[in-house]
Amino acid sequence: MSQVLFLAIAGPGLVMALLTVLSRNLIHAALYLVAFFFVVACLFVMLEAEFLAAMQVLVYVGAVAILLLFGIMLTRNIQGDETTRTKAIVVVPAGAIALGLLAVLVLTIAREPGMPGRAAWSSGARRPPSAADSPTALLPPRAPTINNMAKTIGDELMGRHVVAFELAGLLLTVAVVGAVAISIREGVAPPVPEAAVPDTTPEEAPLETASVPT
């Protein structure tokens, strides 16, 4: 039963992911991505992580999606043009490599591997036990975790993962500061003389598209 359900959720998810990558119109791609985020939320529900599912919907389907759409609308080129089209000579080997990787992954995971001498990882409903997890890092038992997920997640984030949590906060700060610094136009922010210089860089050599040791 749960397998059928999983396929019913994951199948459309796969389609959405493919459409995100393949669609030429950026707005369409963004909308497919939002649909994919929603599928991920469904997968969280299947894993009995309802709180995470709610967060996924609120943060990704809600906030991130809107941010993404605004970002696209504020940039000029929405429709793919000649430069975004790729030639067959590039697409074919790239596709072959990607499909090869997929084949390897599918074969590997379909064989239900685990560590040699242990049960396969897909057969266990719980995390594999690890004798080495120290007493300070004891995992909370399963049932209370599910029934009280917000609290557990809060405890974990403020407990074991507090350093990572703070670092993620700093990472977001970095992203904001950096994005502003990169996207602001040079010579506009500080007071400039009247005939402000536009982007005067025509005399530069054409950009290389590949790095060839010359």
Partner 1 sequence: MPAPFQIADFWSLAPEGLLTVWGLLVLVLDFGLLRRLEGPLRRNILGTFCLVGGLLTIALLLFTADFAERPTPLDEIVARDSITWWFNGLTALLLTLVVVLSMSNPFTEHWGEYYALLLWAAVGMMVLIAAQELVLLFLALEMMTICLYLLTAFVKKRRRSAEGGLKYFVYGSVSSALFLFGLSLIYGLTGTTRIEAMRSVLMEVAPTSGLSGNLAGAIAVLLMLVGFGFKVAAVPFHQWAPDAYEGAPSPITAFISTGSKVASFIALLRLMVHGLAPWAHREGSLVGPGWVGLTALLAAASMTYGNFAALAQTNLKRLLAYSSIAHAGYLLVGVLAASVSVDQGYKSAGAVLFYLMIYAASNLGAFALATWLARDRGDEDVEGLDGLGYRSPLLAVCVVLLLLSLVGVPPLAGFFGKLSMFMESLNTGKTGRLTLLWLVALALANSVLSAFYYTRILKAMFLRPPPARPLGPPNVAIGLPIVACTLVLVVLSLRPSLLVEPMTRAAGPLIGMPAAEGLDDLETTLSRAP
Binding residues (CB under 8 A) for partner 1: these are: 104-105, 107-109, 111, 113-118, 121, 127-134, 136-137, 140, 155, 158-164, 167-168, 170-171, 173-175, 177-178, 180-182, 184-187, 189-190, 201, 204, 207-208, 211, 213-214
**How far is residue 103's CA from residue 86's CA, in Å, rounded to a whole number?**
24
> Among residues 194 and 208, whose Cβ is nearest to partner 1?
208
CB of 1 to partner 1, least distance (A): 24
**How far is residue 121's CA from residue 114's CA, in Å, rounded to a whole number?**
5
> Among residues 8 and 102, whose Cβ is nearest to partner 1?
102
DSSP state of 183: H
Length of the chain: 214
DSSP state of 162: H
**How far is residue 175's CA from residue 172's CA, in Å, rounded to a whole number?**
5
**How far is residue 149's CA from residue 154's CA, in Å, rounded to a whole number?**
8
> Among residues 82 and 208, whose Cβ is nearest to partner 1?
208
Query: Is there a contact between 48 and 146 (Cβ–Cβ < 8 Å)?
Result: yes
Query: Is there a contact between 83 and 95 (Cβ–Cβ < 8 Å)?
Result: no
> Among residues 8 and 22, whose Cβ is nearest to partner 1?
22
CB of 152 to partner 1, least distance (A): 8
CB of 84 to partner 1, least distance (A): 14
> Among residues 1 and 170, whose Cβ is nearest to partner 1?
170
DSSP state of 61: I
CB of 7 to partner 1, least distance (A): 20
CB of 14 to partner 1, least distance (A): 16
